[in-house]
A and B are shown apart, each in its own frame.
Chain A
Amino acid sequence: RKEVEQDPGPFNVPEGATVAFNCTYSNSASQSFFWYRQDCRKEPKLLMSVYSSGNEDGRFTAQLNRASQYISLLIRDSKLSDSATYLCVVNNPYSSASKIIFGSGTRLSIRP
């Protein structure tokens, strides 16, 4: 089982729709969680951290479910500019190697 798993998509939704995708992680000791966004041929950029109580930033809401070991990202009122690949990132502080694991990403395409 991969340490971090994401549905690769693509998710193809109309502008204005609400879309959500999940990311599961295998190590229950993981403590920090992030969503990154990567545009085509660009570097990944931090979108938001994911806190235990859930957090919201404008149209974006991130949630953490420790019991089921997944995090989610919800995008409301989607815009054309939201089209990108969304990367789930999990930090396991007890790993002897690099503690940060990236998922393979979920591709999102917003159509007019």
Chain B
Amino acid sequence: NAGVMQNPRHLVRRRGQEARLRCSPMKGHSHVYWYRQLPEEGLKFMVYLQKENIIDESGMPKERFSAEFPKEGPSILRIQQVVRGDSAAYFCASSPFDNEQFFGPGTRLTVL
């Protein structure tokens, strides 16, 4: 049973470009969470999704950020018009019952 997969592992974008981060949950997991971690800081919750539904997006900036978890395919975290402050590690986690979470290896976004 493969773990949570994220790609790309590293992503470099110039200011103003778009970043798309993908997360494939563990098999059988229908709950997906996205977190952001700045250097030397803790995990910050961004959004919680179930298949085709956003359950809680209270941690996600209102502008430029969006997330989806379609019926088929991975969950996508999309950041439009990236700025330097978006540079961070973005972790995805999945869970079978909104309980203990299993994390992917993360995507490290660098905005030049």
A residues adjacent to B (C-beta < 8 A): 32, 34, 41-46, 49, 87, 89, 91, 97-105
Contact = CB atoms under 8 A, between A and B. Distances in A.
Contact of A46 (B35, B45, B100, B106): B100
A102 B43 contact: yes
B33 A98 contact: yes
A88 B58 CA distance: 21
Contacts, number: 54
B48 interface: yes
Nearest to A85: B42
A42 B106 CA distance: 8
Interface residues of B, number: 23
A7 B35 CA distance: 21
18 contacts: A41-B89, A42-B106, A44-B43, A44-B91, A46-B100, A89-B101, A91-B98, A91-B99, A97-B56, A97-B58, A98-B56, A100-B98, A100-B99, A100-B101, A102-B35, A104-B41, A104-B42, A105-B42
Nearest to A8: B42
Contacts of B98: 91, 98-100
B96 interface: no
Interface of B: 33, 35, 41-43, 45, 48, 55-56, 58, 89, 91, 93, 95, 98-106
A100 B48 CA distance: 10
Given A97-B56, A98-B33, A102-B43, A43 B99 contact: no
Nearest to A91: B99
A49 B43 contact: no
Contacts of B33: 98, 100
A31 to B, nearest CB: 10
B55 A97 contact: yes
Nearest to A102: B43
Contacts of B43: 44, 87, 102, 105
A94 B101 CA distance: 18
Contacts of A41: 89
B103 A97 contact: no
Nearest to A32: B99
